[in-house]
Structure 1
Amino acid sequence: MHSPDEFRIRVTAGTDYDPATHVRVHVNDAEPLRLSGPGGDVWLNVRIKNYRSERDDDAQSSSPYFDTEPHKKNDDTYGISLWFVPKRESKQHGEGEEDKEDQEGIVGSDLQWGNDFDEPLRDRLPPGFGAALRIVKWWIDPGLEGDPYADRPYLYGPALSSFNRVYAALGDESESNERSEEKKKLPLRDGCGLWFGEGGDAGGRAWRESIGCPDEDTDTTTGHGHGGGKARMAWALGAAAKAQWTWQYGKGYGLDFYNGYLDFADLTLRLPGFHLALLRYYASEKAEKTCLRYVLRHRQTGRVYAVVVFSLVRVNKAGETVDEDEGIAEVEDNGDNDDEVDEDKIIEQARQTLSIHDEVHVEASDVD
């Protein structure tokens, strides 16, 4: 049986699926990585708690990001922060034809965030996967849709309801041009990189209010906002909400995705009421095929705006990356795991755990 100590996580990113075009992401670095593609510009920070680099370099093992709230309270283990500026792509229309949505931006239901894979996973899905997926879709991200059993598995949700924080920088027309340009600068925090709360600048907050989109979540004890986006995430599950929201071309949007469900240090899935060691199912044949891919894309056109790939890389005792030609032996089943899993029990344990942590359970009927 392989040990997590034999592996490292390599993170790469690009604006399309071709890995040859991707560049390395310096995990926990405060300097955002800039990506530019036909559909827009993206600045990116990736943070991983207890990170071990594949190279013997000065990569930081963590980030001040995890010492701030809500990450400290949540015990978050990783985060992906994006600053996204979509841009209009030239399209060929017939005489007199005009696509209104294309003139303004990306409609709320069309910008998606999620995972997809090039090869089938159905033969490698671990016992209890069905229960794990139910936990994710019922309590964590009810907007997720997809087919993990397909030849090309995928799970996508609307970005509007999938990101933990959404910040809209739309500017204020009453301000001077100089002041407006100043506000378009990336929102950075020393030592962390991209940093923003839920809401937006003056223009962004005003626009959100005009369409009924909740701003910061309010602490019921103090009555003050605390930068969370649960209210907006719940609001965005409705079809009417997504129809009102437009990701406007040329405007900046802060998107922050984080949780503590994947522990990259010991390669474990940690859902409420359900923990699973992943290594025995995914360390097989060649490490480059063992990856988790996050994608920001357009639902209708398939246009990809950003791809972030977490790959499993094997290292030897000296900490050196093992050559791909050496491969990785199949993980042997030593009988420690019983394939018979009581999924109802897992769900009940998750229900009890989530009720303790005051998570919101959203019924399927609430999702449009």
Structure 2
Amino acid sequence: MPPKILLAAGPSENRSTHTALAPNPPPSHPPTPISSTLRVRIHIASWTGTPAPPTSGSSYFTHPLHRSDKFSIQFFFTPHEDVPGDELVISNTFDKPIRERLPVFFGAAWAALRWVDPGIQGEPYADCPEVHSRVLGAVNFLDVRGEVAGREEGVGVEEGAGEGEEREEEAPVIEEHMPADIPGTPAERRKHFLYYHQKEFTFRKGVEYRWDFCNGMMDFSDFSVKIPGLGFKFEMTKYWDQQPLRFVLKNINTGEVYGVVQFDYDQGLGLNDGSVIDGVSLEPGDAVADNG
């Protein structure tokens, strides 16, 4: 039986700053602010963790772009200052070593991940492991219409504005929208930014950028990972030491953290002040506290 997992988010890696966050919000629900620069919307197929989802997420997972996906974090990022394109990353960080817990086939799995995301970098065998990918060359769908509007008007697009605007009955999907001088499909854009052009792009102050980081590898119904190209999946519970699994948006050069989405072992402790977020109220003991 998979463990009970808590989903929470906040402005830093410190648990005490996190608030429980329910996945699969209604399509009409706006993204949830988790810091002064970042809002998120999360979809997880067959979620049985805490908090309980208000919907099944079917409007997302039945969309033609996401029928093979099981997991998604949508980011809505508005930086307070310019961020160079080669410095903005999504990172998985850990506080303690994981090398003793890695499966014997990890080398093959790591190679398969590098095949899916050639830009992934990091030190999984380090004392404080971290692996990361630059946003420009890694995310599945990237919408920079706020950048285009900002060039023309000095402001970003509003939520739901323009092509692809959301309506209550539609899936909350982020589609690829890039300037004319950048390849227009997700695969071409990732290739374009993989090695050579990241420094030419700037995430500009006050402009909202949206992207979807999604895949079909992580299955939270049985807490397993499907390894692309290897034809099998493994149960994470066999190798998990109950450290939080974090998705951190950060500046890889300065270390500044813009926001964190965290999957944690639900120890039945308490998080923040017992918190209400996204209209979801947790009963006492449904979340985690800052344990150091």
Normalised to the residue count of structure 2, the TM-score between the two structures is 0.82
1:309-358 superposed Cα distances (whole Å, 9 cap, x missing partner): 0113368xxxx97999xxxxxxxxxxxxxxxxxxxxxxxxxxxxxxxxxx
Runs (5+) with no aligned partner, structure 2 = 269-283
Q: 1:250 to 1:194 in 2, by over 3 A?
A: farther
Equivalence for 2:74: 81
Aligned to 1:26: 22
From the superposition, tell whether residues 133 and 175 of structure 1 become closer, same or farther in structure 2 (CA, over 3 Å). closer
C-alpha displacement of 1:213:
1.5
| 1:62 aligned partner | 57
Question: Counterparts of 1:238 and 1:323 in 2: how far apart (Å)?
Answer: 40
1:213 to 173, 178, 182: 182
- CA shift for structure 1 position 251: 0.6
Q: Cα deviations across residues 285-310 of structure 1 (Å, max 9, x unaligned)?
A: xxxx4321101100111000111101
Note if contact 2:94-2:129 (Cα within 8 Å) is conserved in structure 1: yes
Matched AA of 2:249: L
Q: TM-score, normalised by structure 1?
A: 0.66
More helix per residue: 1
Instruction: Describe the superposition over 1:54-104 as per-residue Cα deviations: whole angstroms up to 9, x where unpaired.
Output: 35x5633334110102211xx21100001111112xxxxxxxxxxxxxxxx
Q: What is the CA RMSD across the aligned residues, in angstroms?
A: 2.6
- Residues 176/21 of structure 1: CA separation in 2 closer, same or farther (3 Å cut): closer
CA displacement, residues 219-245 of structure 1 (integer Å, 9 cap, x when unaligned) = xxxxxxxxxx11101111122x11111
Deviations along 1:100-124, one digit per CA (max 9) or x if unpaired, are xxxxx21111001121111110111
- Which among 220, 236, 242 is matched to residue 278 of structure 1? 236
Number of equivalences: 263
C-alpha distance in 2 between matches for 1:140 and 1:311: 25
1:1-368 matches, within 5 Å, as 3-4=1-2, 7-30=3-26, 31=29, 32-37=31-36, 41-54=37-50, 59-72=54-67, 75-88=68-81, 105-137=82-114, 139-168=115-144, 169-172=146-149, 183-186=157-160, 188-190=166-168, 194-199=172-177, 205=178, 208-209=179-180, 212-215=181-184, 217=185, 229-239=186-196, 241-272=197-228, 273=230, 274-282=232-240, 284=241, 289-313=242-266
Change (3 A) 1:323 1:81: closer
Structure 1 CA distance, aligned partners of 2:9 and 2:22? 10
Sort the Cα spacing of 1:106 and 1:174 in 2 relative to 1 into closer, same or farther, 3 A. closer
Q: In structure 2, how many angstroms separate the alpha carbons of the residues matched to 1:167 and 1:129?
A: 33
Q: Residue 60 of structure 1: SS of its match in structure 2?
A: coil
Q: Tell me how far 1:127 sits from its aligned partner.
A: 1.8
CA shift, 1:267, in A, is 1.1
The more displaced of 157-166 and 59-68 is 59-68
**Percent identity of paired positions between Structure 1 and Structure 2:** 29
Name the CA distance, whole Å, in 2 between partners of 1:42 and 1:173: 18
Q: Residue type of the partner of 1:25?
A: L
